Amino acid sequence: MIRIQNILVSPGEGGVYNERMLEGYRVWDPYRSKLAALYILGEGVELPKSMRVLYLGAANGTTVSHVADYVETVYAIEFAPRPMQDLLEVARRRKNVVPIMADASRPEEYAPFVEAVDLIYQDVAQPDQVNIAERNLPFLRPGGWLILMLKTRSVDVRRDPKEVLADTLTELGRRLEVVEVRWLDPYHVDHAAIVCRDRSAGVMK
């Protein structure tokens, strides 16, 4: 990842969300992007130019745009019509973003449009976040990565976020190797980033 004066940046065209520019690079705001918060607080996953990413929960395309600055292709899945309008504008300016309006819990809807990927990045505010991740694992190349941004209050607002995280790690650990776990405070309260490595997933037919 690129840092200038210890500030996380990406090497793309600015003006996506009025982000600050620094020496010709876009400043990647951790308050606007959970992935940026992960890179600042922990390790995360490197984003080489050859990487293909399946992004679940693309929303307005803020983080999508930064990821696209680094990688070959981003398949951006978003279900809500209003954020999709902003995402389409991001895709217009970044030709390596493939916007797909679909439900991330129904990967069969977009299977014909998505190639095998090296990273699945999930930021979906649903109670069944682990199930959604597992249903999309067939897209992942063997040895690929999953980054799940766990929104604990979306899973169960009545439970302690630490308990929700512990249960989530148990579920993910049945199939994946959990490599890193980070709470994203102070940037995103009650959110945890879970970085996993897959050793068995194949390609969805």
What pLDDT digit, counting tens, does each position of 80-113 carry? 999 999 999 999 999 999 999 999 999 999 999 9
Is the residue at 10 inside a domain?
Answer: no
Q: Is 104 annotated as a binding residue?
A: yes
Q: Is 126 annotated as a binding residue?
A: yes
**66 phi-psi bin (left φ>0, alpha ψ -120 to 50, beta other):** alpha
Is the residue at 169 inside a domain?
Answer: yes
Residue in the structure block whose two tokens are 């389409």: 88
- Whether the per-residue pLDDT at 24 is higher than 90: the answer is yes
Is the residue at 131 inside a domain?
Answer: yes
pLDDT digits (tens, 9 = 90+) for 121-132: 999 988 889 999
- Whether the per-residue pLDDT at 169 is higher than 70: the answer is yes
Contact between 134 and 146 (Cβ < 8 Å): no
Amino acid at 24: G
pLDDT on residue 88: 96
Number of domains in the chain: 1
Name which residue leads in pLDDT, 19 or 126. Answer: 19
Is the residue at 149 inside a domain?
Answer: yes
Q: Is 19 annotated as a binding residue?
A: no
Amino acid at 138: P
pLDDT mean across residues, the chain: 93
pLDDT on residue 154: 85
pTM of the model: 0.93
Q: Is 156 annotated as a binding residue?
A: no
DSSP string, 117-147: EEEEEE----TTHHHHHHHHGGGEEEEEEEE
Q: Is 117 annotated as a binding residue?
A: no
- Work out the average pLDDT over 147-175: 88
Q: Which domain holds residue 81?
A: 34-197
Which domain CATH number covers 159?
3.40.50.150
Is the residue at 11 inside a domain?
Answer: no
Helix (H) or strand (E) holding 155: helix 152-155
Question: Which of 20-34, 41-55, 121-135 is predicted least confidently?
Answer: 121-135
Is the residue at 174 inside a domain?
Answer: yes
Is the residue at 56 inside a domain?
Answer: yes
Percent of the chain whose pLDDT exceeds 70: 97
pLDDT on residue 200: 64
Q: Is 139 annotated as a binding residue?
A: no
Is the residue at 178 inside a domain?
Answer: yes
From CA 139, how far away is CA 142, in angstroms rounded? 10
Using DSSP, state whether 52 is helix, strand or coil: strand
